[in-house]
Amino acid sequence: MSELPRPVLVLSRALDQARAALTTLDAADLDLPTHCGDWSVRDLVGHLVASPGNFLLMGRGEEVDWDAVPDVAEGQWAAYFKADADRLVEHWSLRPQEEAGMADMQSAEIGVHTWDLLHATGHSMPLDPEVAERGLAFLQQGLTDENRSGAFGPAVEVGEDATPYDRLVAFAGRDPRA
C-alpha cells in the first residue's frame, strides 16, 4: 500500500480509537443512555460496529441499511469492527487521490460516536484532535440548520477554549458539558 492520503490516514486513526473505545465496555454499560437521541449504549454499539461495513458498501455504490445491526457476540465488537475497518482503509487506499476527502465525512461520524460512547459510559482515553478537526471541517461545509433533522440536533455553543472534540460534538448537536 502506498502512502495514504491525509484524510484516509486520519480515518484510519479514527477507526483505531473507536475500536479501542469498544474494548472499554462491560455489560453494566450497555443500558446506559447516550447523546444519540433515545439510543442506549447497546444501540450505539450496534450502529458503531456496523459503520465501517456500511461505509464500505456506500463506497462501492451499494445500498446501505443504516438500521441493520450486525449479530456480534458481546465482547467481540472490537474484533468485528477492526476487520471491517481494515477493509475500509484498504478500499480508500485503492481509490483515486481526488476522492480521499470523502474519508473526512467518515472520520466525523466515527469521531462523534466514539465521543458519544466514551461520554455515555464515563470511560476515558486520549482522542486524536486531528480526527475532530478534520471531521468538524467536513461537517461545517455542508451541515446547515435546514438539513440537521434526524441525525443532528442544533449546534451547541462552546467557548473559545473548547477542545477539538468539544467543538466537533457541539457542532453535531451534543452538549460536551452535559
- The strand pairing partners of 40, in sequence order, are 33
| 175 has a pLDDT exceeding 50 | yes
Q: How far is CA 126 from CA 18, 42, 131, in A?
A: 11, 22, 12
- Residue 1 within a domain: no
- Residue 142 within a domain: yes
Predicted pLDDT of residue 1:
47
CATH number of the domain that residue 112 is part of: 1.20.120
In tens, the pLDDT along 57-79 reads: 999 999 999 999 999 999 999 99
Contact by Cβ (8 Å): 103, 10: yes
- Residue 150 within a domain: yes
In tens, the pLDDT along 152-173 reads: 889 999 999 999 999 999 999 9
CA 121 to CA 66: how far, in whole Å? Answer: 23
Query: What is the pLDDT confidence band of residue 2, given thresholds at 50, 70 and 90?
Result: low
Higher pLDDT among residues 160 and 151, named by residue = 160
User: For residue 40, how many other CB atoms are within 10 A of its CB?
Assistant: 16
CA 174 to CA 178: how far, in whole Å? Answer: 8
- Residue 151 within a domain: yes
Question: 3-state DSSP call for residue 97?
Answer: helix
| 52 has a pLDDT exceeding 90 | yes
Predicted pLDDT of residue 116:
97
Q: How far is CA 37 from CA 149, 150, 174, in A?
A: 11, 9, 10
Q: How far is CA 71 from CA 11, 59, 75, 78, 84, in A?
A: 24, 22, 12, 13, 14
Question: 3-state DSSP call for residue 47?
Answer: helix
- Residue 130 within a domain: yes
Higher pLDDT among residues 49 and 98, named by residue = 49
- Residue 87 within a domain: yes
DSSP 27: G
pTM to 2 decimals?
A: 0.95
The residue range of the domain holding 108 is 6-171
Residue 65 CB contacts under 8 Å (≥ 6 apart), including other chains: none
Dihedral of alpha carbons 117, 120, 122, 127, sign? positive
- Residue 177 within a domain: no
- Residue 20 within a domain: yes
Number of domains within the chain: 1
In tens, the pLDDT along 87-146 reads: 999 999 999 989 998 999 999 999 999 999 999 999 999 999 999 999 999 999 989 888
